[in-house]
Structure 1
Amino acid sequence: MSLSAYLQPDLPGEAYTFEVAHGCNKSDLVFRSAKMIYEGDGTELHRGRLFRPSEEPDLGEDVVCKIAYHPTALSCIGHELAMYYALQHLQGVCIPVVHGYYLRQADLASRSCLVLSYCGEPVKEPFAGLDIEFKRALVQAAVHIHDAGITHSNLVEENVLDYHGLPMIIDLEEARRHLCGRDRNIVEGDISPRSSDFKCDELFQLCEDLKYWKPRTIKSVHGHAPISRGMTVEDLADTYPPHIPRDVALKKAKAAIKDHVKRYYPNKYKEWKRQRRALSHRQQSKNTTASSSNQVADFDVSGATTAAPLGA
């Protein structure tokens, strides 16, 4: 079985012939390039149609041919193929489908061709700017890859495609075998763990880049203080230098917690404001002078509860 690859749209009659090296296709195939989408490092990427000689080109599969013509690139694509097949159960789920791997042996210019399904364009936003549904799907995709015993080793924006609103991870040239050491689930909006506690550098860095977790520190007088579960204004004020008067420290701590909650927990902050307004109306109707701040729960700055922040 062979692949006839027409790589130059301006020369429609000139084809490179590759012989199948790995794949399940039982017939000869034709690839006709529509355009080159990348060139560099001894590699070319062509997007076009893959079809049988008896078929109309327009009815073929929308694919990308990754062609290597430099010895180093040939080796890299051979390794990439092995990684794709190690993740075969994820093909079409969060990585492209492999349609075949072909070789063209020549004395002076050997080439290889990895044919992959076309899965969209790279995301246009930095990871942190992606919408939350896409972030969740990307984290899940990366977890699936790790659970299959592979680490990608280059999870950056250019290697994540937007395929009809879902992520497809590409470029497995640097992927390697990996026994993931993480011992916890990844929970969106949880407080960021320490890298040493999380025990998987790649997934940790991905979540940090996505801003998938809330900060584990809060602004203090001199830098930032670590957040603990159930942290109160008094707890934060205790981290301030002793030369700051206690009433000043408490005031600054209240403001810091309010700002932190407003920025990182906007929905809970809005709910707290709603509770404050409702309580104020009830107090006015009862003609009471009780302080509302003593009747609305304090906000747990760690985000562990839905209580409200002090001050305002």
Structure 2
Amino acid sequence: MPTLRIHIAPTRDYHTTVHYTLSQTGPQDAAGSGDSSSQLEFSSCAELGSANSEVYRGILSKTDGSEQEVVCKIMKGDTMPLEAEADLYSTELKDLQGTDVPRFFGLFTGVIKAYRTRIACILLEYCGPTMGGYFDDYDMATRLVALTSRVVLTLNPMLTGLNRGKIIEAFVRIHNAGVQHNDIETYHVILDQSDSENLKVRIIDFDNAEKHTCTRKMEIRPYGFAPWRGDFMCWELYDLALDTDFWTPTWFSFMGFTVSVFETCDPKSLAEYVAPYFTLWPRDVLEKKAQELLQEFRDKYRDRAEFLDYPFDGFTDSDGSDSDGQSEGEESGEESGETASESDLEDGSNSEGTSSADEPGVTEPQDESAVTEVH
């Protein structure tokens, strides 16, 4: 049975070099030593993290003299989460190693005799630094370049023809393989942008993951308006698409109310919607606040206008120069001052003559109270 000698250089927790000797428990010879009685050696060169486990970057030396840069993840005491993670790498995630998750080189276990404490570690391919921070810390252009190539992700588990180097697509394949991550954060995503034509993504840290049969019922359409959570039927992928702005929000908050973007496309209607609850506020003040909110929404998602059936130029240009409430196309033909979005709202249709209820993934509330009750 292969053994692993671990040498952890002095860190903030260790003042001298620490040594452990562990035995490989599975899968046998994943590190490619070629000898079931061989001894592998890991020497750390940097500490990558220490929360529920200790994570080190270092060099794995094999008996044939070859070396490889790897990550050693160590857990002491209750090692079951790490052993469960190793099991996922060996089973459900086996076919995704080297593409969507790092290559897995084995689980090693032992006992710290002085403390009678169980210790376990896994060795993984080192793929580079994680994204870090939060998805909102990255500007919209960076997030969208990294997240989508304007494709449609279907329920096809093979995902043929799609770029394998995208975050959303990687998580879709992980779900198709039967695993739910349960801890999606930027620091669990490694994004290699050295090749702009073939972005490489690795998802890491599966110690909170579980086996999962994905029940999602809808396609994930880049830039499209977010569907109802209950219609989508997979909370993890749903939240990921929202958190990364892969979808366009179907709702926004105004004066404490959550309002559908399809019910109030112009400032006057939005102000009228909340006016009964703000009787002391002058109507022009409410309309000004409504205009600011709608303009912010339009400016933020204007680059998606070609993908969305929504009046992005409903009442003003992005620089606010169109103060009379008309778009450039209306100035020459209409004198009433009524905007396209106001007219659409009155007759219950959008700019192409279809009801907002016909929008993909959108279901209108049955009555006004269904919205006003949401705070």
Answer whether contact 1:134 1:166 (CA < 8 A) is retained.
no
Q: Which residue of 1 aligns with 2:209?
A: 175
Correspondence for 2:179 among 150, 163, 173: 150
Correspondence for 1:114 among 102, 112, 122: 122
What secondary structure does 2:71 align onto?
Answer: strand
Q: Which residue of 1 aligns with 2:2?
A: 2
Report Cα offsets for 1:236-270 as digits up to 9, x if no partner: 57745478999999888666544432232246458
Query: For the structure 1 residues 296 and 50, does the alpha-carbon distance in structure 2 shift closer, same or farther, using more than 3 Å as the test?
Result: same
Query: For the structure 1 residues 166 and 289, does the alpha-carbon distance in structure 2 shift closer, same or farther, using more than 3 Å as the test?
Result: closer
CA distance in 2, matches of 1:186, 1:141: 13
**Farther-moved stretch of structure 1 (242-251 vs 231-240):** 242-251
- Alignment pair present for 1:61 and 2:64: no
Q: Which residue of 2 aligns with 1:32?
A: 43
Answer whether contact 1:3 1:31 (CA < 8 A) is retained.
no
- What is the identity, as a one-letter code, of the residue corresponding to 1:169? I
Offset, 1:65: 1.4
Q: Which residue of 1 aligns with 2:83?
A: 78
What secondary structure does 2:231 align onto?
Answer: helix
- What is the identity, as a one-letter code, of the residue corresponding to 1:7? H
Answer whether contact 2:60 2:68 (CA < 8 A) is retained.
yes
The RMSD of aligned alpha carbons is: 4.2
Q: Which has the higher helix share?
A: 1
What secondary structure does 2:70 align onto?
Answer: strand
Q: Which residue of 1 aligns with 2:13?
A: none
CA distance in 2, matches of 1:39, 1:256: 42
Correspondence for 2:110 among 104, 112, 119: 104
Query: For the structure 1 residues 129 and 39, does the alpha-carbon distance in structure 2 shift closer, same or farther, using more than 3 Å as the test?
Result: closer
Q: 5+ residue gaps in structure 2?
A: 11-15, 149-165, 194-198, 306-311, 354-375
Answer whether contact 2:110 2:119 (CA < 8 A) is retained.
yes
Answer whether contact 2:48 2:56 (CA < 8 A) is retained.
yes
Offset, 1:204: 1.5
TM score, norm. by length of structure 1: 0.73
What secondary structure does 1:215 align onto?
Answer: coil
Matches within 5 A, 1:161-240: 161-164=190-193, 166-218=200-252, 223-228=257-262, 239=273
Q: 5+ residue gaps in structure 1?
A: 308-312
**Farther-moved stretch of structure 1 (227-236 vs 24-33):** 227-236
> Percent identity of the aligned residues?
23
Offset, 1:160: 1.8
Q: Which residue of 1 aligns with 2:196?
A: none
Answer whether contact 2:24 2:106 (CA < 8 A) is retained.
no
- What is the identity, as a one-letter code, of the residue corresponding to 2:3? L
Offset, 1:233: 7.2
CA distance in 2, matches of 1:222, 1:19: 57
Q: Which residue of 2 aligns with 1:134?
A: 146
Query: For the structure 1 residues 224 and 77, does the alpha-carbon distance in structure 2 shift closer, same or farther, using more than 3 Å as the test?
Result: closer
CA distance in 2, matches of 1:105, 1:134: 43
